[in-house]
Amino acid sequence: MKMHATEIIAKKRDAERLSTDEICWIVNAFVSGKVPDYQMAAFSMAICIQGMHEEEVYALSMAMLESGTTLEWPTDTRPLIDKHSTGGVGDKVSLVLAPLLACCDLRVPMISGRGLGITGGTLDKLESIPGFRTDLSLAQMQQQVQDVGCTITGTSSQIAPADQRWYTLRDVTATVPSLALITSSIMCKKLAEGLDALVLDVKCGSGTSMQTAEDARRLASSMAHLGQKMGVTTSALISNMDQPLGKMLGNAVEVNEAVDILEGKGPDSVRAITIALGCEALLAAKIESETEAAKTRLASLLDSGQAREKFSNMVTSQGGDLDAPRKVAKSLVLCSKQSGFVHAIHAGTLGRSVVQLGGGRQTLGGAIDRSVGIELCVEVGDAVDAGQELVRIFASSPPEQPWIDTLYDAIEINPQSSKVPPLIIDRVTSDGHPIQD
């Protein structure tokens, strides 16, 4: 039967269930260029608004996976494992975790993304390292994983090409927050890697797509079920994204913070979530059987500089120079107008502020400025005095007053001290909750 994009879009607009054939047809037609971006943008918005049933999410993920190839690996004693985050403001964990896990005799073929909506992207961050390449061929990627233990690279015309095209479109059409689209986008890449186990960091709060813990659990459960169904041991941590992760937000400045963590320094929150996700990976891969032993091993690899050395090897192997200076824009400081306690730092507003500085894209294929960003000088729960530094802004041109006012509003200061929310909220495995968008 001949299919038409407009009919499939209209069906989803009217909340009807799509058949597997219809889903496969539109994904393949998009990849081959028969369905243009404007129709795929309309289709994405219809999915965002109407959702998809579990069978549709499965069909969509499979169609996106089958748009490219699945990696096959030489037999090796080292398990294949990866971690992926649903995206959060200041989330630079992948940069640290890939080399850290490679130090534990795991192979990590990490396929990552660029900035998505208000959240920064691992590939954009890494490209602030002079020379670093995120477009490795399949052969280069596989060779590097065998030799170095890890790679962080992008989707391509060979691996999950449907996600490569769709991801950039979703970034600039406000169609990121959808359980169906996030599940299929993440899982098609991760299943294409040919993994033994997958660890997910599902963010929850104002700086990400899932605003409530319940929505985050449903997303985690959707991905964990799919992973299990496809024979990949999958678990997820649900973590707090009401305040940004760490102090640095932007591209080059986040690489700097990731290097600090790799040297055993840096903010406690970034180190803690990295180690928690690393423990999940070591237990899933049966490299360790006790959480405490896994934590100790990961912490000592950070503190001894071994993880930093592995990161440096990965960067060199991908053409980058970690010792070359990374460009960071001129800074200016905003000071507190009052004394009190930091009650909230709204991650969503800060993520949007970085995009507006030029750190993220606002149009398809738009250039980004990797040198801009924001450094938080305080975190939730801190006491502050009037006149104390609140944030440092790295900007290529002086920010306008409304932008500065919005930034001030994003950091709430109260007279009374506030409770610091937990960083890790929950853990979800494939026997979690039912899936329904």
Residue choice 41, 95, 186, 281 for contact with ligand URA (CB under 6 A): 186
Query: Rounded to the nearest whole angstrom, what is the least distance from the CB of residue 316 to ligand URA in the complex?
Result: 26
Query: Rounded to the nearest whole angstrom, what is the least distance from the CB of residue 121 to ligand URA in the complex?
Result: 8
Half-sphere exposure (Cβ direction) of 126: Cα atoms closer than 13 Å: 29
CA dist 60 and 27 (Å) reads 8
- Tell me if residue 78 is catalytic: no
**Nearest to ligand URA of 29, 176 (CB atom):** 176
**Nearest to ligand URA of 61, 336 (CB atom):** 61
**Nearest to ligand URA of 112, 274 (CB atom):** 112
CA dist 179 and 184 (Å) reads 8
- Tell me if residue 297 is catalytic: no
Residue choice 27, 57, 60, 182 for contact with ligand URA (CB under 6 A): 182
Catalytic residue among 82, 91, 124, 163: 163
Query: Rounded to the nearest whole angstrom, what is the least distance from the CB of residue 175 to ligand URA in the complex?
Result: 9
Catalytic residue among 189, 218, 271, 361: 189
| CA 274 and chain centroid, separation | 13
Are 135 and 157 contacting, i.e. CB atoms less than 8 angstroms apart? no
With tokens 């009190």, the residue in question is 340
Strands, E assignment, 43-138: 81-85, 108-112
From residue 223, give the alpha-carbon distance in Å to each of 86, 190, 342, 389, 433: 11, 10, 35, 41, 11
Mapped onto helix, strand or coil, the DSSP state of residue 116 is strand
> CA dihedral in degrees (100, 104, 106, 112; nearest 10)?
-10
Half-sphere exposure (Cβ direction) of 40: Cα atoms closer than 13 Å: 25
Catalytic residue among 170, 190, 247, 310: 170
**Binding footprint of ligand URA, residue count (CB under 6 A):** 8
**Nearest to ligand URA of 97, 393 (CB atom):** 97
Query: Rounded to the nearest whole angstrom, what is the least distance from the CB of residue 88 to ligand URA in the complex?
Result: 9
**Nearest to ligand URA of 174, 332 (CB atom):** 174
Binding residues among 112-141 for ligand URA as defined by CB under 6 A: 113, 116
- Tell me if residue 418 is catalytic: no
- Tell me if residue 260 is catalytic: no
- Both tokens of 159, joined, read 């691996």
Binding residues among 263-322 for ligand URA as defined by CB under 6 A: none
Catalytic residue among 78, 84, 203, 310: 84
CA triple 185-187-191, angle to 5 deg: 130
- Quick one: DSSP state of residue 119? B
- Tell me if residue 114 is catalytic: no
Of 182-190, 266-274, 285-293, 375-383: span binding ligand URA (CB under 6 A):
182-190
**Nearest to ligand URA of 203, 346 (CB atom):** 203
CA dist 60 and 299 (Å) reads 39
CA dist 124 and 253 (Å) reads 12
Residue 87 binding ligand URA, by CB under 6 A: yes
Residue 86 binding ligand URA, by CB under 6 A: yes
Phi and psi for 421 in degrees, rounded to 5? -70, 150
Residue choice 94, 134, 153, 185 for contact with ligand URA (CB under 6 A): 185
Mapped onto helix, strand or coil, the DSSP state of residue 296 is helix
- Both tokens of 360, joined, read 């993220």
Catalytic residue among 44, 94, 184, 185: 185
Mapped onto helix, strand or coil, the DSSP state of residue 432 is coil
Taking CB atoms, the residue at the shortest distance from ligand URA is 185
Binding residues among 228-267 for ligand URA as defined by CB under 6 A: none
**Nearest to ligand URA of 116, 281 (CB atom):** 116
Q: Tell whether the torsion through CA atoms of 356, 395, 255 and 405 is positive or negative.
A: negative
Of 180-188, 239-247, 321-329, 364-372: span binding ligand URA (CB under 6 A):
180-188
Active-site annotation, residues: 84, 163, 170, 185, 189
Residues in touch with ligand URA (CB under 6 A): 86-87, 113, 116, 181-182, 185-186
